[in-house]
Structure 1
Amino acid sequence: MSAPRTGPEAPRTTPPTPDTATDVVRWAAFSCVLVPVVLLWYGSSLAGAAGTAFGLAAVTAVCRVLLRRSEQGAARLRAEEGAPPAPPRGRHHRAGTGAHRGGRHSGGSTPVD
């Protein structure tokens, strides 16, 4: 049995990218089942729980279609531009020069009335 290869000849693998749309749809499908069960548990009618399940399923289906179309459009746009994926943005990954950042300002030392 040989030791695992390390160094420059080791094959490079990329970590799997999370499919966030699939995760959202899975949670939505879970809630399509859970919400009617809870409604029945607390005494709602069977027709009301079934109507709620149908409504949630319809909204989930529409959201799934919209998410897929959005992902495909973004992938097509990136492919046309030939640009690498966008850098992460968030609280600590702000784009821009920092013109709107807080803190002390260097300026005149005149007192404020």
Structure 2
Amino acid sequence: MQAARRPHGDPAGDVVRWAAFSCLLVPVVLVVYGTSFGGAAVATLGLAAVTAACRVLLRHSERTERSAARILAEDRLTPSHRGRHSRAGAGGQRGCQVSSGMSPQD
């Protein structure tokens, strides 16, 4: 019988799972090596808080990345009018002459 394999498409989920595993393992190790139950509980709470914050940041990063990729894909699909005759940038308006203090007759 084969073990069911998960696709490796969720690296943030893998990180969060390992962090949750550490939140369970660290207090056990601390108690085995002589730390008080109170100290182990505080360490567990600290690790859980850091894990939760990291999970939020990872999910936010994934959403931002997907959003940026979608916008980039949309920009590639729609033709842009920013070619040679663009109005954007310096000197983009027709007939605009800037005086530098000297005229061509000088």
**TM-score scaled by length of structure 2:** 0.62
In the alignment, the residues of structure 2 paired with residue 35 and residue 29 of structure 1 have an alpha-carbon distance, to the nearest angstrom, of 10
The aligned residue for residue 45 of structure 1 is: 36
Q: Are 2:47 and 1:70 equivalent residues in the alignment? A: no
The aligned residue for residue 15 of structure 2 is: 24
Question: How many pairs does the alignment contain?
Answer: 68
The aligned residue for residue 107 of structure 1 is: none
RMSD: 1.2
Question: Which structure's residues are more often helix, by fraction?
Answer: 2
In the alignment, the residues of structure 2 paired with residue 73 and residue 47 of structure 1 have an alpha-carbon distance, to the nearest angstrom, of 39
Runs of 4+ in 1 over 6 A off after TM superposition: none
In the alignment, the residues of structure 1 paired with residue 72 and residue 17 of structure 2 have an alpha-carbon distance, to the nearest angstrom, of 32
Structure 1 unaligned residues grouped into runs of 5+: 1-15, 84-113
Gap change, CA 1:17 and 1:39, over 3 Å in 2 = closer
Q: CA deviation at 1:69?
A: 0.1
Q: Compare CA radii of gyration and give the structure with the larger one.
A: 2
**TM-score scaled by length of structure 1:** 0.58
